Amino acid sequence: MTAPSSPDEMPAADKRLGRGQDPPVVVGGGPDPDPGPDPDPTWQPDPATVATWKAAFDRLSPRHRPRREQILPYLLVRAFSPGDRARRPVWPVIPGWESPDILLTDHADAGFDPTARVVAPVPSGTYRVFVHVWNLGQVPAVGVHVRAWRVRPGFAGVGVTGKPGTEPTLIGGALVDLDQRTDPGCHRLVELDAPWTVPTTATGLESLVAAVSCPADEWNGSWLANDDRHVAQRSLRVVGGIQDTRPLLARLADDVGPGEAVQVLHGGAAAGPPLAAVAGDRVAAPSTADPDRTVPVRPASAEEIEHGVPVAGQRHLFTVIRPDAASPGIVAPSRDVEQLFAERGWPSPFANLRTLPQRVLELPPDVLESLRVKITLPVLGWLLGNDPIPADSIAITLLRPTGAQHLLRMACTGLDGAVRGGYSLIVT
């Protein structure tokens, strides 16, 4: 039998079988569904049934809900180095004010010269400001706004907008695009569109704050680098030799208000990364005979320090507490506090630095009174209004070994443990 050469030659019956009949009613056409009985007004969902269906969905679903950084940009200015992958908060025990991503060079230099980084800006100096920004997301970040501010010396943080004179002063900004994290362009060293000239009335001890934001990953305006990966803080001073530490330490002492505490730790080998970021391989250590003297970077390890209590690779040196405006400050050397707690059979208060100030205040009144006057560390002279303290005298009389760099981390918190801000001092 010969097959028809075209559909038009097929018999009408065969064509109907091939394409089917058109329905008499194209849309709908069936009877109206039975609305069923009225809902029971006393009905409540069965938690067991809900749990059963949730478990069934979990078994059948092939993938977990995607992480935010897999579908959107994920911006970061590092709070510390190495190892900052944007997890917040970082304190305790890691400080959030030692950002290696806020860098200065002399205004006269062309481009970014790693060997000409400025460690300690001075009044009337003019500097170019660079911010290292990162995108850890798996999609590009478009229209990234990078900005930086200066904040007057002190424990910049929560109080940055709460006290007169602490409001940030904008230095400048820039707009860039960043690739996804698998591409080399996922991070860039961005120069701001304006240099920073330190006012003649300033001290040069100001903190620097940088923030990064884009339409798909916005900064919420918080100034706490400890809590927000979009903002970073450089409150870090490097001093050596005969350079006087008194102006900075006195300023920090004045910044501690009622109901606040300052914990001071020796960072040990953690001094290496911030020194490498802001200074390179040598730091200034001027002497009377040689004002231009420099020494190699060689951070002292926490194990080499004679004072304090070991805490997460650091040494906790002492805690200063101002319970209220009427009471004198309590100076509590960490080793003495540990011994006082051990004598009473109490657990060590250094297991949780957030609760440390409150735990110290639980000691009997007569013990607290003794702590007010028991000054065993020479560096505490800055609390008592003593003479200027050269940087090398701190290293010689307190920290040892000499010739090394010592990282002093000062964390200012409320008595409830909430971090307000911090400042780090590296002495040689």
> Position 191: which residue type?
E
* Cα separation, 85 vs 77, whole angstroms: 10
* Element (DSSP H or E) covering residue 370: helix 365-373
pLDDT in tens, 58-78: 776 666 667 787 789 999 999
Strands 406-414 and 231-234 come out as unpaired
Between 72 and 30, whose confidence is greater? 72
* Cα separation, 167 vs 150, whole angstroms: 9
* Cα separation, 292 vs 404, whole angstroms: 17
Identify which of 148-152, 192-196, 389-393 has the greatest average pLDDT.
192-196
pLDDT in tens, 89-117: 998 889 989 999 999 988 877 778 777 78
Gyration radius of the chain's alpha carbons: 32
In the chain, pLDDT over 70 holds for what percent of residues? 81
3-class SS of residue 398: helix
The pLDDT assigned to 16 comes to 53
Poorest-pLDDT segment among 24-33, 308-317, 405-414: 24-33
pLDDT value at 347 more than 90:
yes
* Element (DSSP H or E) covering residue 128: strand 126-135
Tokens at residue 76, please? 């970061």
pLDDT in tens, 299-328: 888 788 878 899 988 999 888 888 887 776
pLDDT value at 41 more than 80:
yes
Report the DSSP beta bridge partners of residue 134.
76, 187
pLDDT value at 385 more than 50:
no
Q: 378 falls in which pLDDT band (50, 70, 90)? A: very low
Q: 202 falls in which pLDDT band (50, 70, 90)? A: confident
The pLDDT assigned to 163 comes to 46
pLDDT value at 379 more than 50:
no
* Cα separation, 214 vs 44, whole angstroms: 45
The pLDDT mean for the chain works out to 80
Q: 237 falls in which pLDDT band (50, 70, 90)? A: confident
pLDDT in tens, 104-157: 988 877 778 777 788 888 888 899 999 999 999 999 999 999 999 988 777 765
The pLDDT assigned to 380 comes to 44
> Position 119: which residue type?
V
Q: Write the DSSP string, 283-331.
A: EE---SS-TT-EEE--BPPGGG--SSEEETTEEEEEEEEE-SSSSPPEE
pTM of the model: 0.77
Q: 164 falls in which pLDDT band (50, 70, 90)? A: very low
* Cα separation, 220 vs 190, whole angstroms: 21
Half-sphere exposure of 188 toward its Cβ, with a 13 Å CA cutoff?
Answer: 19
Poorest-pLDDT segment among 214-228, 248-262, 414-428: 248-262
* Cα separation, 35 vs 33, whole angstroms: 6
167 in Cβ contact with 107 (< 8 Å):
no
The pLDDT assigned to 132 comes to 96
Q: Please name each of the domains of the chain with its CATH number.
A: 67-234 (2.60.40.10), 235-428 (no CATH)
